[in-house]
Amino acid sequence: MTAHPSPTTRDGGPSGRGNTRIGVVTFPGTLDDRDSLRAVRLAGAEPVPLWHRDKDLHQVDAVVLAGGFSYGDYLRAGAISRFSPVMETIIEQARAGMPVLGICNGFQILTEAHLLPGAMLRNNHLHFICRDQKLRVENASTAWTGDYEVGQEISVPLKNMDGRYTADERTLDELEAEGRVAFRYLDVNPNGSLRDIAGITNAAGNVVGLMPHPEHAVEPLIGTGRTDGLGFFTSILKKLVSA
């Protein structure tokens, strides 16, 4: 098993390597891995494709679990992917501090792996939804949100069938009290998520999950026509470079 290297003083990248390497995991049914790899490249980091059956993270400095329908969302969204070999390493390294971002299906996988609390249920209107979605940034101190400001409003695409975030009241109160709600839906709650939660973080701030797709809002010619999502990828790059 490959251990995640600790960043040290370096010329050009963490751990003395020339580039900051960010891995993007592909599971069977992943749809947005190439979009995420492109977003990483546009931010200035080196994108590294990771295959779900390979436990080796190939010396990446951070990991993105991309969106899609891993294993066809059989049983529950993310329930099978959580047991893929790569997740054994990701869970271990995330608990040791490695930054991990879960987008849509990736968020679902993070909850199934218990790296983030709560669960994702079927949308309350029982329909797949695809729309541009306005969000409010609630936490700008995580590894993935440092280029945003608290209260900032951004717009990124949203597409999901099982996007309704739920947790018991005690967990929700803890998330609120600890500032771990990272994003909330604005104007409309598209899937019935409790307390309008669109994304959350773990207590350490290195693991973030959200349902909307920032990787689809990194170039003005695609997605929303804005680059509101690029900040996720520039944030992690700056975090790793300054470590």
| Contact criterion met (CB below 8 Å) for 171 and 114 | no
Catalytic residue among 4, 52, 213, 216: 213
DSSP character for 13? S
**Active site (annotated) includes residue 130:** no
Instruction: Count Cβ neighbours within 10 Å for each residue of 64-103 and write b for 16 or more, e otherwise.
Output: bbbbbbbbebeebbbbbbbebebbebbbebbeeebbbbbb
Give the total residue count for the chain: 243
Catalytic residue among 52, 112, 215, 216: 215
**Active site (annotated) includes residue 176:** no
Catalytic residue among 52, 104, 138, 216: 104
| Contact criterion met (CB below 8 Å) for 147 and 238 | yes
**Active site (annotated) includes residue 104:** yes
Taken in order 67, 71, 72, 73, the sign of the CA dihedral is negative
Nearest C-alpha neighbor of 10 from the set 61, 48, 66: 61
Q: How far apart are CA 201 and CA 240, in angstroms?
A: 18
| Contacts for 221 with CB less than 8 Å, ≥ 6 apart | none
The strand pairing partners of 57, in sequence order, are none
**SS3 per-residue string spanning 176-204:** HHCCCEEEEECCCCCCCCHHHEEEEECCC
Q: Which residues are catalytic?
A: 104, 213, 215
